[in-house]
A = this chain, B = another copy of it.
């Protein structure tokens, strides 16, 4: 299902990479909210494909809002967006029914839907489907900022290069917004330069690299979420794994927490200005499914782009013989970088949903 169901907000994504277009319907956005479409478009531009890593990005997809906005204000009715596909060349894709691309969804899609599945450009499995999701998330980011919440992600790592470690307790919204706006969103520009080298080296080899993205949400109130299966971690993880190529999701210290002793991992409570907080943030702002009021910290691992120009082995399913495949066309040498605004968008949808739900609960007491 391509439906991201929240407690208050649900988003249904549709379309195919090489079909008529791609779109999404968001239900449950609050009514009466002004929406600045130029901000949504700016987020879309960050997701848009660029030629090389360093080249100027091309125009972002033009988003048409089909419903739910009147005079630039949400009406409370479902808000639908639509992006018409431009010219696409699909002639090569039918070959993948016979010779599936390694680590692509071609083969699982055939297992799941049979020959009726649309493999052109990846069909409904394409990373292109994140475009309408980014459009909806762009609106949610604006609504979150109106509620005092700033969301931003950076390239935590690309291949073996790590960005500078970030102390989430010291991070300001201004710093976060500055970094997320960079072409290569890192805190340490020297690390960014090395990442660039890694990417270009892989590209030169007809290969690709993976990366890890880290997202912060600042200003989230404490007490958001639910125990067990509807906690902040459950909902964010379920949504983030909806972004193609994501292989792992972790909160706070994440997998590193497993190596620590309790005395090193526990965060001491303390007074922080007028509120209660913690001195450190190993917990990443969420314990037992519920926010503490500290910065939310979540990371996701993005695998290397599976489409590579290098020759690789795979199977010709018609003959049953192994064969060699070299995937032509322009492919991102590091798909992780394009996922940065998508991660922000998806997290924004989930966090706005949690906040809308939270208001009910708090006020319901």
Question: Is the beta-carbon distance between A32 and B238 smaller than 8 angstroms?
Answer: no
Any B CB within 8 A of the CB of A257: yes
Cβ contact within 8 Å between B262 and A15: no
State in angstroms the CA–CA spacing of A360 and B64 once bound together.
Answer: 29
Of the residues B30, B70, B123, B267, contact of A75 by C-beta under 8 Å: B123
Could you list 17 A-B pairs, sorted by A, with CB under 8 Å? A1-B227, A1-B229, A20-B64, A20-B66, A32-B365, A75-B116, A75-B124, A76-B112, A108-B223, A108-B292, A207-B263, A209-B260, A210-B259, A228-B242, A248-B254, A257-B304, A359-B364
Please, how many angstroms separate the alpha-carbon atoms of A184 and B276 in the complex? 40
Let me know if B15 and A80 touch, CB within 8 A.
yes
Surface stretch bound by B, among A6-14, A51-59, A172-180 = A6-14
Q: Are A225 and B258 in contact (CB under 8 A)?
A: no
- Number of copies of this protein chain within its complex: 4
Specify which of B25, B32, B234, B279 is in contact with A114 (CB 8 Å cutoff): B32
B287 x A105 contact (CB < 8 A): yes
Interface string of A304-319 (1 = CB under 8 A from B): 1111101011110100
CB nearest to A307 among chain B residues: B262
Assess the A258–B301 pair: CB atoms within 8 A: yes
Structural contact, B242 and A31, CB atoms closer than 8 A? no
Q: Is B290's CB under 8 angstroms from A361's CB?
A: no
- Known contacts A226-B1, A242-B228, A270-B315; is-contact A76 B113 (Cβ 8 Å): yes
Contact A115 B67 (CB under 8 A): no
Does A233 sit within 8 A of B, measured CB to CB? yes
In the bound complex, residues from chain B placing their C-beta under 8 Å from that of A66 are 14-15, 19-21, 23, 82
Across-interface contacts of A116 in B (CB, < 8 A): 31-33, 70, 73-76
A5, A27, A68, A302 pick with most chain B CB within 10 angstroms: A27
Closest to A156 in B: B258
One of A40-48, A96-104, A186-194 contacting the partner: A96-104
Q: Which residues of B contact A357 (CB under 8 A)?
A: 360
Contact B209 A255, beta carbon cutoff 8 Å: no
